[in-house]
Copies of this chain bind each other. A is one copy, B any other.
Amino acid sequence: MTISSKTAARVPLTGGAGAFNIHRPPLLHCTNCGTRIERLVPPGDGRERAVCPACGGIHYENPKMVVGCIPVYEERILLCKRAIEPRYGYWTLPAGFMENGETTAQGAERETVEEAGATVVDLQAFALLDVPHVDQVHMYYRARLDSLEFAPGEESLETRLYAEHEIPWRDLAFRTVTETLKLFFEDRKKGSFGFHTVPLFAPR
């Protein structure tokens, strides 16, 4: 599915499907019965959890995965200019929140279709970036662009192939993207690609 038309519809920022929301709203009510939850350490647990005083449900809150691609066409990389907040107008690799029922690679392919209208093949795991202060884990796959058919999806203003010397380093949307691209070009110079794990803590 190639999404090439732009609509006015925008996914809300909080928990957005494509936006990397910085703050997730706190869980205030039980998802099972709607009662106002309490924060306490359940027996046998070591952490404060959202516990329902009515039905006893414990609501665990866990990190979300963001999955994406480094789409490569010959020597160039496909980037997307963001049409949504946060970081409207800045450039990014195609990536977004992983959905239930898919693999990380399927999610990375899907996001590349949705944001860049592009089909990728030969996915290879490249980097996992931990972003603990926003409760996220980002996973990037290297991938080959199948053709020169690409077009901005609803969440992009523009899609463009960039050679290394053309990368808009000061206009990249996220540190995760900057780090991933740096590692990619370093490995390419070396002539061999590894798998990288990168912890990215909050800037001081």
A-B contact pairs, 16 of them (CB 8 A): A11-B58, A14-B58, A15-B60, A25-B32, A27-B31, A28-B34, A29-B30, A29-B32, A29-B34, A34-B34, A34-B35, A62-B64, A62-B65, A65-B65, A100-B132, A105-B130
Q: How far is the CB of A65 from chain B (nearest CB, A)?
A: 6
Q: What residues of chain B lie closer than 8 Å to A27, measured between beta carbons? A: 31
Binds B, one of A37-45, A157-165, A166-174, A183-191: A37-45
- Are B33 and A29 in contact, with the CB atoms below 8 A? yes
Interface members, chain A 80-132 (any B CB < 8 Å): 97-106, 114, 125, 128, 130, 132
Type the 1/0 row for A1-41, where 1 means its CB is closer than 8 Å to any CB of B: 10000010111101111000000010111111111100000
Closest to A59 in B: B15
A99 to B59 CA separation, bound complex (whole angstroms): 12
Q: Counting chain B CB atoms within 10 Å of each CB, which of A12, A44, A102, A128 scores highest?
A: A44
> Does A17 contact B29, Cβ atoms closer than 8 Å?
no
Given A11-B58, A130-B104, A135-B100, A125:B29 Cβ within 8 A: no
